[in-house]
Amino acid sequence: MRQFDDHRRFSPTAQGAVDPGLGELPEWNLADLYAAPSSQALKDDYAKAERKAAAFAKNIRESSLSLPRRMAQSSPVQLENLKTFKT
Amino acid sequence: MGRIAAYATLLYTGDTTDPDRAKFYGDMQETLTRISTHLLFFGLEINRIDDGILDAALAAPELAHYRPWLMDLRKERPYQLDDKIEQLFHEKSVTGRGAFNRLFDETMAGLRFDVDGEELAVEPALNLLVSPDAETRKKGAKAISKTLGENIRTFTLITNTLAKDKEISDRWRGFDDIAASRHLANRVEPEVVNALVASVEEAYPRLSHRYYAMKAKWMGMDKLNYWDRNAPLPESDTKLIAWDNARNIVLDAYGGFAPQMADIARDFFDKKWIDAPVREGKATGAFAHPTVPSAHPYVLLNYQGKTRDVMTLAHELGHGVHQVLAAGQGPLMADTPLTLAETASVFGEMLTFRSLLEGAGDVAERKSMLAGKVEDMLNTVVRQIAFYTFERKVHTARLEGELTSEQIGELWMSVQAESLGPAITFDEGYETYWAYIPHFVHSPFYVYAYAFGDCLVNSLYAVYQETDAGFAEKYFEMLRAGGSKHHSELLAPFGLDASDPAFWQMGLKMIEGMIDELEMLDS
Ligand SMILES: [Zn+2]
């Protein structure tokens, strides 16, 4: 639920060719995240996320009834790891 | 999951018309939804834990880091209902609030606005209102009011239903004010919002009323029509700013504030974190995406070389610098509370604006730059506070029963006249213009956050101008805190307090000062 969109910054829909007077405009390199949508690293991360989410939910269900204190201690760390794939 | 979501989003925004990217993005969202159902009730569960047990748990060193996050979550506890009721609310929202949100979106997307026989969708129709040609603006305005008028019963139904839906949920949860749940979500106290609203309303005559009277004169009119309000000024600039030049302008402005700020921003240029050109199928507008703290942010622009585009670059890089500095807080606490989310971006824009203004060639250029900035600020500050006031009136009136389209229109018109002032004519047709504003539907009472951000930066900038040394270090410290601190803690080192009306007046004084200067240049 990251809020990154800039609601205010509507600019009129861009059209036409880029003005050559602007010089060379940079394009981003997304390879810092993944090499490609088909990359093995991405597939592995998907699988890992599913596994961890299920384990996390199970842990909550089981521990929240019996051991609230244990859950309070471990769950934020787990939730955070889940969001970032730290293992 | 954050990394995949960021990757899919960025890939998709780069070309929204590519079917492979669209599918990848769609699949990602579906998986994300499925996974997050596991996590949905996590917050609720945490809030079931007794205070005593949680306090004891927080004493453990490995959990101390998460204290701000848990304490924040805790604030929702008094309004949380039994599990079964929460579940029912959640599931019913698909056919309740969710369905009416969708009805709005789909109705809006289907609307066509007839301009000289051409059937325009809502965005191109709204774009006509900023055309340099008066006749085009008028045609656009008339087409908008005609189509909205023909569909006003649907929008009235949506408005009535959503206000009632909100009242039901607020009543069950025990919120004592129509906007209380929004304030809670924004982590801001009602008295802070009240101080902001009162200060802005009190300043209407010295801000919007005065400026639009001056603009009418510039345009050679006694009074502006409502479709002339955002018309480009006669001597708006047309010269193009090359990319390298834009880069230098922003880095110089940032560096003038603090070398460290320019250093962080320089990475965005040197390491290919920016996507600048306009391309077929690329998302419009601009944003800075933080991705995940273990990676780095990316910035998307549609750079076309106007002064406005340079300001947008400065704005998004401000977000970018903030995201880099806050990454140390980790994914749960890196996100700044909404009220402060626009601080770094607007501040970066302000630094760049000031440095461009200093370099302005002649009086005409200076005037045009100042006027552009004032109009932006009026749209962000005056306009959004007026929107908030309108929403309050609608939701309050709805408590007494269903509203007719006419009643909603009257509330709208009274708020417009009050906030924009006597220099603008609102003739027949404007009473339906409330209907297209998506925020009223999607995020009730959200709009004041924009005004909050702008005013806050103005006040902060005023402090910066009066400080000799040490401001930058405090500023970075504030950005590094991310979402781990309350606004009162973040502002205290600057001697600022958002619950004090004087704080807001200081920010509004800056806009007033610009209007003063415009008046002076004019005479
Ligand atoms: Zn922004």
State the pairing for strand pair B298-300/B274-275: parallel
Report yes or no: B330 at the A interface, CB cutoff 8 Å.
yes
**Is residue A51 assigned to a domain?**
yes
Within 8 A of B66 by CB-CB distance, chain A residues are 76-77
**Is residue A47 assigned to a domain?**
yes
**Is residue A1 assigned to a domain?**
no
Interface of B with A in 47-66 (CB under 8 A): 48-50, 53-54, 56-58, 60, 62-63, 66
Q: Which domains does chain B have, with CATH numbers?
A: 1-95 (1.20.140.70)
Contact A75, A57 (CB under 8 A): no
**pLDDT of B84:** 86
Residue tagged 């603009």 (tokens): B215
Backbone φ and ψ of B497, nearest 5° = -145, 115
Overall residue count recorded for chain A in this entry: 87
Q: How many CB atoms lie within 10 A of CB B56?
A: 13
B348-378 residue pLDDT tens = 999 999 999 998 888 888 998 999 999 999 9
Nearest to B436 by CA among B61, B147, B41, B78: B147
**Is residue A3 assigned to a domain?**
no
B440-458 residue pLDDT tens = 998 899 888 889 989 999 9
**Is residue A18 assigned to a domain?**
no
Q: Indicate the residue of A11, A79, A82 with minimum beta-carbon distance to B285.
A: A11
Average pLDDT, chain B: 90
**Is residue A83 assigned to a domain?**
yes
Chain A residue with minimum CA distance to B308: A11
- B288: which strand partners? B299
**Is residue A65 assigned to a domain?**
yes
Three-class SS state of B362? coil
Three-class SS state of B364? helix
**Is residue A27 assigned to a domain?**
no
**pLDDT of A84:** 43
* C-alpha of residue B362 to centroid of ligand 1, in Å: 30
**ipTM of the complex model:** 0.78
Residue B303 has pLDDT above 90, yes or no: yes
With pLDDT > 90 as the criterion, what percentage of chain B qualifies?
60
Report yes or no: A20 at the B interface, CB cutoff 8 Å.
no
Within 8 A of B4 by CB-CB distance, chain A residues are 34, 42, 45-46, 49
Within 8 A of B127 by CB-CB distance, chain A residues are 12-13
Q: Does the pTM exceed 0.80?
A: yes
What radius of gyration do chain A's Cα atoms show? Answer: 21
Chain A residue with minimum CA distance to B53: A69
Q: Name the more confident of B49 and B311.
A: B311
Report yes or no: B164 at the A interface, CB cutoff 8 Å.
no
Within 8 A of B441 by CB-CB distance, chain A residues are none
**pLDDT of B486:** 86
* Domain tally, chain A: 1
Range of the domain at A75: 40-87
Best residue in B122, B278, B375, B452 to probe A by mutation, most A CBs within 10 Å? B278
